[in-house]
Amino acid sequence: MPTAAGPADTIDQIQRLVAAGQYRVGVHAVRHMIEEGFDEHQMVEALRGRIRVLEEYPDEHRSLVLGRFHFTAATTSALHVVCDLSDERVLDIVTAYVPQPPWWVTPTQRGRKT
């Protein structure tokens, strides 16, 4: 059972586990990395930086967080990461993707439903 009680606790737990290297990357996240051109290092950069909880799915112990990573030294991109916190010892990264239209109007505003 996760210990996170709110967005700040969720962020603290995610960043603590990532900093300790206690995370697993799911196949869906890997697929998006290949298709969208980012890598694990950039995903970790996004999670270690300033992140924001966009949505919480308490029944699944999951949260959708928004972070940013560098594509190049001068270019950053938003990144959405779905984090599973059902095991307080390890973070499961369910998926990660660059938010894009039509599903996202902006990195924080949903567009069309899938």
Measured distance CA(44)–CA(89) in Å, rounded: 17
What pLDDT is stored for residue 5 in this prediction?
Answer: 58
- 53 near 10, Cβ under 8 Å? yes
Give the residue extent of every domain in the chain.
7-108
Assigned architecture for domain 7-108: 2-Layer Sandwich (3.30)
What pLDDT is stored for residue 7 in this prediction?
Answer: 85
Cα-based angle 67, 111, 12 (whole degrees, multiple of 5)? 25
Mean pLDDT across the chain: 93
Token readout for 62 is 């999951």
In which residue ranges of the chain is pLDDT below 50? 1-4
- DSSP designation for 22: -
Q: Reduced to 3 states, what is the DSSP secondary structure of residue 101? A: coil
